[in-house]
Amino acid sequence: MISSKNNSSKSSHTQTAAPQNIENFCQVPKKQDAEVQTDIKDVTIAYAGYETDSMVKFLRKVAPLVCSVLEKNIKSKAFYRYKLSSDTTDTTISCLHMLLKYPSSETEFCCSNISWNSVGTALAASYSYSNHMSWCEHDSCVNIWSLNRKDFDPKKPNMSLETDCCITCINFHPELPAIIVAGKLNGSLLLWDISKEDDPLLSSTETTTSNHREPITGIHWIPPYGKHNRYEFVSCSLDGKILLWKFENGTLQPYDGFIILAKQLPRNFQIKARLSNAEVGITSLSINVEDSSIFIIGIEGGGIFQCSFESKVPTLYSGASSVSLKNPINMGFERHKGQVTTVQFSPYSRNIFLSAGSDGELRIYSLLQPKPLLILQQPSGGINGAQWSTVRPLVIYCICNNGQLHIWDLVSNERSPTESCLLTLSNDSGISLGNNKENPGLLATCCSNGTVQVWEISGAALVAESSEVTQLQALSKTIE
């Protein structure tokens, strides 16, 4: 028997949140094309009217004059040897070394002169007090740097020669690299052999009235330069004397001499002097490269004179002298408007020499005529030193008192320097410069702040043209 049982039931349900639907759409902007059109318009050029007969009459009148001027311009030498700067090779000047004054504590000393030795490896610099109010009582020195040595230090020289007076002029021997002569502010001379490190001094002169008694302004070795134990050189001074010296038996002795007196100058160059036998100071001297008996001098007041070592003209000088003094002057040249600072013969021509002065003029003269062949005016400032290039007959270096170094290349430009640079950032006055004959790419300069700069020169200033010597000789025959 089957029994049934009642089952209970219960209803229940679950519910979730109704899903939300969102409808989005994107819309692309409508584009619209438009065209702009301009009408083509004919442009007509209106020419001014003229009468044919009057135009022909005008051309017939002016054509002969215009043609004559054009023909004259073709023959003109106004732009002779002129080249555009874009057609020339630039010269590069870079400061290779800055040799500092030693000792650096002496702030009131300037570098008075510099000189390279005969092999071009050593550079000597002399020092002098900037402003002497009375007799010199300073201790000075000559510093020597050996640029090729491993221990070379721009801040400290390899050798220092101490002196009891300021040095105004120095010059290495042209053949012996260890021999150097120096001139003092008091007029005495010193001769050293720097190969003897213990005692390099060979000889010195005393300050007497019979020798120089004023600052030495120039020292030049006399060719032929003699044997190893015999040296000859000439010195000039602001006392007007030109003395010839020789080193024999361990002493320096004068063996000949000349003097420049105011009353013996040519009539076109008279100097007013209180005394009848007043001396005229000599500021620079240079010996001819082909004839060692000829030399030129620059004197105070701007005068330039050709002189001869063979002169026998007596003078009426009544002052004391250890040798008989003669008058060396043969002829005079047109003088500068300011002080003559440099005279130098060209190493490529017997008759050509240059001069520079405080008037800012760089002049080129010939021994054959009194007027200058060429006058180059510096942009600004007087010139304190100038030298010919040792490889380019028509290139000249000059240093100015406004602190600039200029290079003149007369082949490319006779109106302005082809290259210029500042010696120092503070525009210190340039004092002297010197070429390195063995290494023409090196040039040394010195400044009033006591520093010495060694410049490396490359480019057109070292590339000589074959026609330069011919142009230099032709310049001596042409008066512009």
pLDDT digits (tens, 9 = 90+) for 142-176: 999 999 999 999 999 999 999 999 999 999 999 99
Residue 23 or residue 185, greater confidence: 185
First CA to last CA across the chain, in angstroms? 160
Residue 8 has what pLDDT? 65
The pair phi, psi for residue 207, each rounded to 5°, is: -85, 100
Residue 135 has what pLDDT? 81
Residue 88 has what pLDDT? 47
Give the neighbor-by-neighbor strand order of the sheet with 313-314: 216-221, 231-237, 241-248, 251-259, 325-327, 313-314
**Position 479 confidence tier, pLDDT thresholds 50, 70, 90:** very low
- 276-295: per-residue pLDDT in tens? 678 999 999 999 999 999 99
Check whether 272 has a pLDDT greater than 70.
Answer: no
Region 59-67: what's the mean pLDDT? 91
Dihedral of the CA atoms 237, 242, 247, 249 (nearest 10)?
A: -110
% pLDDT > 70, the chain = 82
Check whether 480 has a pLDDT greater than 50.
Answer: no
What Rg, from alpha-carbon coordinates, does the chain have?
Answer: 39
Measured CA to CA, the distance from residue 184 to residue 448 in angstroms comes to: 18
Q: Please enumerate in sequence order all residues whose Cβ is within 8 A of that of 197, keeping only pairs 6 or more positions apart, or say none.
A: 159
Region 198-213: what's the mean pLDDT? 89
Residue 1 has what pLDDT? 47
Measured CA to CA, the distance from residue 55 to residue 53 in angstroms comes to: 5
Residue 276 has what pLDDT? 60
Q: Please enumerate in sequence order all residues whose Cβ is within 8 A of that of 74, keeping only pairs 6 or more positions apart, or say none.
A: none
Residue 327 has what pLDDT? 94
Residue 291 has what pLDDT? 92
HSE-up (13 A, CA, CB side) for residue 324 = 6
Residue 212 has what pLDDT? 92
Region 301-323: what's the mean pLDDT? 90
Check whether 338 has a pLDDT greater than 60.
Answer: yes
- 412-442: per-residue pLDDT in tens? 888 888 888 999 888 889 999 999 999 988 9
